[in-house]
Each structure stands twice: as C-alpha cells, then as structure tokens.
Amino acid sequence: MSGILDQLYPPKTSFTELELPDQTGKVLLITGGASGLGFEAPRCSTKGTAQSTSPPAPARRKARHQGSARGFPDSPGRLEYIIVDLADLTTVRHVAEELLRKESRLDVLFQKAGVMNTPRDNKTNQGDELQMGTNAIAPHLLARCLQDVLVRTAQKENGEGRTGTVRIVSLASMVAVGTPKGGVIFDESGKPKLSGASLDNYVQSKSGNIYLANEWASRLGDKGVVSVVVNPGMGLLMKLARYGAYTQLFAALSPEVTPAHNGGFIVPWGRFDVLPGHIEKEIRPAGDKEIGISRQFWDYCKGAVNGF
C-alpha cells in the first residue's frame, strides 16, 4: 500500500481527457453531477464523444444542471441529466428506467454521489443514517437496477474483442487514515454501528463502498464487467476538482484497466494500489472464517433495498 504522503502528493497524472481513446457510441452514467468531482467527471469524459448521463441530487438543482450542460460547448459528446435523490430509495429505480428508455447499453457506471460530515441524527427517507444511506445503500440499489444492461453491454463488447471496457467505478477515500479495524463495525441488530462523530460514520460508508465494489467484482467479473474502487485524491490536497476527476477517468476509461484489475484499488492520479490488510482480509477471509465483513455488508445492503 502506498504511503499517506504518496496519496496526498501524488506524481503527475499521465491520463487526462487528452489521452482518452475514442468513446463514440458509449454511454456513461455519473451520479452526483452537482459540482466538484461530479461536475468535472462528465466534463472530462464527454471529450471522447461518449454520452454522459448524470443524475444529480436533489431536484431543486435542476436549473443549475441544465446550465452546466450548456457549459460544455466544445465537447463532441452529449450530456443529459436525470433527477434523483439518493436519500430516498423510491427515486432510484427511476434513474434506471429513464436511462433504459433512451439507451440500449451502459458502458460505465460512476458511483460518485455522496455526502460527508452530516449531523448524526440526519436520516434518509427510509430511516438510515444519511451518509450510509446516500453513499452506500442507494448506490447499491442503483447498481442492482443496472446490472443486467451492464452485463449485456459487456457481452457485446467481449464479442467484438473489447474486454474489460464495461465498468463500475465506486468512490472510497484514503482508507489508510481513520478507518476502524475491519472497515465497518456492526451493532447487535446487524446494522452499521452509529458513532457520535459524523466523520466516523462517513468513513464506514466509504469502507462499505470498497466492499460493495469487490462483491460486484466477484459476481459480475465472469460476465465481463470490471468493478474497481477509487480514492479520487481530494480533501487535503486542495487541488482543482478536475484532478480528482482524472483518477476516476483513469478507472473508468483507461485501457490500462483490464479484467485482471477487477476489484482493484486506484489512487491519485491513476495508479494501482493495494488495500490495507485489515480491509483485504475481510474481502478474502482465511482460516475458519467463512464470511468476512465484505459479504456481511453486501447482505446488509441487499436487505436494505429489498422492496425498492
């Protein structure tokens, strides 16, 4: 695992929108298109002529996003917006339905949307802690709704000799700092244990993203879908948002990412790394431990989205 300083002050990126391979005909779905990383990711990705569909939250920002779409006049790609509130699971399936009404394929699912440092008593409409619900549970539902079209697209790409191009990209954080042992701590009811410190709850949701990314890798890898997780490299770096988007761009569109990197961890500004040992062993438990925290978190999210 690279050091903390190495992730805080990474070397110069070698993959930007200028290095994008031709994206003609591809469809990308990018959650969290309001600002920052979510705004920069579609700006960069549409440079290669892909269509980028970005579901921002909440709905009151619609006018702002329509203005943002007009803010990419030099892009040969097409940018559209779908409204969703990831704090309300009843709105999530609409994103998949709206996408499939317009498109027959999905090449990349960017799971970027999220919230941070919210008050402990803030809940989703379904009663989950807001950061856990928005950052992990709702994105899991979205991926479940879109897994069939991702697999169909991957099979088509594989049949034409292009392997590893259909991807799920999830955002974590610099998990070497502040992450509890095992990533997620469960309470007696089987739910992630709430901390009095909002940042602790945020870190657990980001560890959950790592686990979900790896669980998707194990389930969809043999069907041609590559799932990776990213530390975009923002926060203390105080860089422009596009730098964090470069890490995501590498994860989503670089030809260096192959099926061999399924379940991989990518750090700024587009480099492969390994996860902390206490996280890794919960993904691939050894000895008498049949189920790690990764599978436990998957089962928790699966139960949380049942009925939606």
CA 246 to chain centre: 14
| Residues near 194 by beta carbon (within 8 Å), at least 6 away in sequence | 120, 129, 187, 201
What is the reported pLDDT for 37? 47
Please name the helix (run of DSSP H) or strand (run of DSSP E) that holds residue 167, with its range, or none. strand 167-171
- What is the chain's pLDDT, residue by residue, as a tens digit (308 residues)? 566 666 666 778 878 888 888 888 999 999 986 554 444 555 555 555 566 666 654 544 444 455 455 555 566 678 888 989 999 999 999 999 999 999 999 999 999 999 999 998 999 999 999 999 999 999 999 999 999 999 999 999 999 999 999 999 999 987 656 799 999 999 999 999 999 999 999 999 999 999 999 999 999 999 999 999 999 875 545 566 677 788 999 999 999 999 999 999 999 989 999 999 999 999 999 877 889 999 999 999 999 999 99
What is the reported pLDDT for 146? 98
**How many residues comprise the chain?**
308
What is the reported pLDDT for 260? 98
What is the reported pLDDT for 50? 61
What is the reported pLDDT for 59? 45
What is the reported pLDDT for 286? 84
Structural domain count of the chain: 1
Which CATH number fits the domain that encloses residue 83? 3.40.50.720
User: For 272-278, which contacts have Cβ atoms below 8 Å and span 24 or more sequence positions?
Assistant: 273/1, 273/2, 273/7, 274/1, 275/1, 275/175, 275/210, 276/1, 276/175, 276/176, 276/179, 278/179, 278/181, 278/182, 278/183
What is the reported pLDDT for 216? 99
What is the reported pLDDT for 234? 59
DSSP-assigned beta bridge partners for residue 109: 29, 168
- Domain range for 16 is 4-305
